[in-house]
Structure 1
Amino acid sequence: MSTPGGVLTAASRLTSAGGDEPPLTIPRGPAREAAERELSKPAYHENDPSWFVRALNKFWEWVDKLFSAASGAAPGGTLGLVVILLAVVAVAIALWWRLGTPRRSPGSTAPLFDARPRSAAEHRAAADAHAAQGHFDQAVQERMRALVRSLEERALLDPRPGRTADEAATEAARPLPGYADRLHTAARDFDDVAYGGRTATLDTYQRLTALDTEVARTPPTLTAAPGAPR
């Protein structure tokens, strides 16, 4: 087995042997081939980086070239590119915070109540129990059901099992016009959580609880029948 440097060693021996003889001249082509064979031996590559490291280095070289090209085109060079990237990230975070997770499917046609009827007090108790355990998705749903059931118990809404949250908000806004916007917001929160795949928060539950409490204490606005004397 030849050792690293075999070509140079052999050449050195040939040139040094016989001081009176002319030095040995190796043609360029064979010399190059011999050098390539020698350098291809494993001994010369024991400390070479792995294929993964080489690929990673290539990737970061590509990223560096891409970043350099982009920074050259952006106003202000590298600093300008960093500012632009930070602005894009900030806008994306703001949109996500404002809009939340996209809905999987619209829930405006799904019924508000399930098959088993319960009173407003029962729905409120279930909502408080869920909220105490941090289960705000279920708490929001139960609180919305409590609000609508309370309106039914007060005869401000006709009991209707297939009513949706949006329909309930629209119908409840007639005797309670001052709460129209908040009722529709509550209906959207219910649909988003129950059918849209969004996650409720403590703030959502507290907002709905406050609405339920205020509506329960507010007398309805009575409208005169058409043609009735004023």
Structure 2
Amino acid sequence: MTGGVLKVVPVLWRSGDGPPVTIPRDPAREAARHELSKRMYHENDPGLLQRTLNAFWDWVDRLFGAASTATPGGSVGLLVIVLAVLAVVVALWWRLGTPRRTSATSAALFEDRPRSAAEHRAAADAHAAQGHWNQAVQERMRAIVRSLEERAMLDVRPGRTADEAASEAGRTLPDHADPLRTAARDFDDVTYGGRAAGEGTYRGLAALDDDLERAKPQLTGSTLATAHKGRQGAAG
């Protein structure tokens, strides 16, 4: 014991009556180990997050390596399978759209105060002039339905959806039933499906709006009653 400090020296014991064999430490090695343990030498070491990510990607690499050996065609076959799966996911996403917060069948076509067909057309044209095709499609579909209501081809009913309006108008205007259903689907896809409309979609709705302005209804008993109610409302 020197200066109150007890130094431990490794001892190698051996059987027999001889004294134990001691293994002296290498002072230079101990000094180097102590020096390298200082913080200044570890400032650039990867952090916990980086080490975790490195371990994750190493695991992924080993996983794909094992999968490629078990897949016919090796790495090329595995790549083909991965691309096929991605293609299916993209196709489903494009077909189904983003998850909807509100069901398209329960959401009303008109959300704010009642406006005339002319006002909806003006709003649609203003959006189209700025290239805001989603809003332009929405306003043009509202203009179509409001115009049919104003001409007594549809009864004025709050809470009506685009699909309901297209179905009801298609019975009065059977020659335009398919374009009306397409217009309602475009409205739903843009409003609730998270899809982006283009200029072509809007131009199609504008052309349908123009055609409907010149169309004459095929009146049945129910549509005659609707038309009569509309005339009475206009007279009042």
Using structure 2 for the length normalisation, give the TM-score.
0.69
Structural mapping, 1:44-59, within 5 Å = 46=41, 50-52=45-47, 54-59=51-56
Output the CA distance in 2 between the equivalents of 1:35 and 1:101.
66
Structural mapping, 1:1-230, within 5 Å = 27=23, 37=30, 40-43=33-36, 46=41, 50-52=45-47, 54-114=51-111, 116-194=113-191, 196=192, 198-202=194-198, 203-223=200-220
What is the number of equivalent residue pairs in this alignment? 197
Shift of 1:95: 2.1
DSSP-derived class of the 1:41 partner: helix
DSSP-derived class of the 2:172 partner: coil
Shift of 1:100: 2.2
Q: Which moved more, 1:177-186 or 1:124-133?
A: 177-186
Shift of 1:96: 2.0
Shift of 1:47: 7.6
CA contact (8 A) 2:190 2:197 kept: no
CA contact (8 A) 1:103 1:197 kept: yes
Cα-to-partner distance string for 1:63-83 (whole Å, 9 max, x where unaligned)? 221111111121111110011
Letter in 2 for 1:173: G
DSSP-derived class of the 1:102 partner: coil
Letter in 2 for 1:191: D
Shift of 1:130: 1.1
Q: Which moved more, 1:121-130 or 1:33-42?
A: 33-42
Shift of 1:87: 1.3
Q: Which moved more, 1:99-108 or 1:215-224?
A: 215-224
**Using a 3 Å threshold, how does the CA distance of structure 1 residues 126 and 188 change in structure 2: closer, same or farther?**
same
Percent of residue pairs identical: 61
Shift of 1:219: 2.4
Output the CA distance in 2 between the equivalents of 1:210 and 1:41.
83
Shift of 1:201: 1.2
CA contact (8 A) 1:124 1:142 kept: yes
Structure 2 unaligned residues grouped into runs of 5+: 1-20, 223-236
Structure 1 unaligned residues grouped into runs of 5+: 1-24, 226-230
Q: Which moved more, 1:166-175 or 1:179-188?
A: 179-188
Output the CA distance in 1 between the equivalents of 2:118 and 2:166.
19
Letter in 2 for 1:198: G
Shift of 1:158: 2.0
Output the CA distance in 2 between the equivalents of 1:47 and 1:100.
49
**Using a 3 Å threshold, how does the CA distance of structure 1 residues 34 and 103 change in structure 2: closer, same or farther?**
farther
Output the CA distance in 1 between the equivalents of 2:100 and 2:28.
66
Pairwise CA RMSD of aligned residues? 3.1
CA contact (8 A) 2:134 2:190 kept: yes
